[in-house]
Structure 1
Amino acid sequence: MKQFTAKEVEIMLTQGQSVNIIDVREVEEVEAGKIPGSIHIPLGLLEFRMNELDKSKEYILVCRSGGRSGRAYQFLENQGFNVTNMTGGMLDWEGETN
């Protein structure tokens, strides 16, 4: 499983790199704050909304602690997507949220 730490993702964003982040947490969790620019697709809806994603792009998957994003990683990788899991999830995120 390809992984980035929360700090590595934060550095990519502050350096202006173009990153595609998918937040797989539930609605009420995201309402408390998400990484700016991230796409919110709850884990339970990923199968039904994966048609919104582009297989030519790389996606970084985020959840609260890294478990659900790990499951999302396995699912999307099996579907042919280029994905990376953000370890530690939002619990480790120290960057900006909105």
Structure 2
Amino acid sequence: MKQALQAQRKIRIIDVRNNEEFAKAHIPSALNIELPELKDRKERLDKGYQYVTVCNKGGGRSAEGARFLKELGYDASWLCGGTDKWMDS
């Protein structure tokens, strides 16, 4: 993921955690769109990008967010290990 971002591929990271969690630590350049708000903000997302959803550890909220975006036709996946793993690497 880090290599893809450094190569400036068309990837957007969406952090689906709440504002307080995001404020404590987040991946640089990540958009903070809480999972319940994703539905209301989907029209603002450009289908020309690949979206990677993240939460703390990856797999819960982030998997749900990616699944939702895929159902709408977006290129989406979730980051295994989430923000916690990103910060540790």
TM-score past 0.5 threshold: yes
Once structures 1 and 2 are overlaid, which stretch shifts more, 75-84 or 15-24?
15-24
C-alpha deviation, 1:92, in angstroms:
1.1
Structure 1 unaligned regions, length at least 5: 1-8
Partner of 1:10: 2
- Write the distance in 2 (CA, Å) between the matches of 1:39 and 1:84: 15
Residue in 1 that maps onto 2:12: 20
Higher relative contact order (CA 8 A, sep 6+): 1
Moved over 6 A (4+): none
Q: What is the RMSD of the two structures over their aligned residues, measured on CA atoms?
A: 1.7
Tell me the TM-score normalised to structure 2 length.
Answer: 0.86
Is residue 46 of structure 2 the alignment partner of residue 54 of structure 1? yes
**Identity score, percent:** 37
Q: Which of the residues 80, 85, 94 maps onto 2:87?
A: 94
Q: Which runs of 5+ in 2 are unaligned?
A: none
- 2:33 pairs with 1:38: no
- 1:75 counterpart = 2:68: yes
**Cα deviation 1:12-53 (Å, max 9, x = unaligned):** 33x343331111010000000211111110001000011110
CA contact (8 A) 1:10 1:95 kept: no
Whether the 8 Å CA contact 1:65–1:87 is kept in 2: the answer is: yes
Measured after TM superposition, the shift of residue 94 of structure 1 is: 2.8
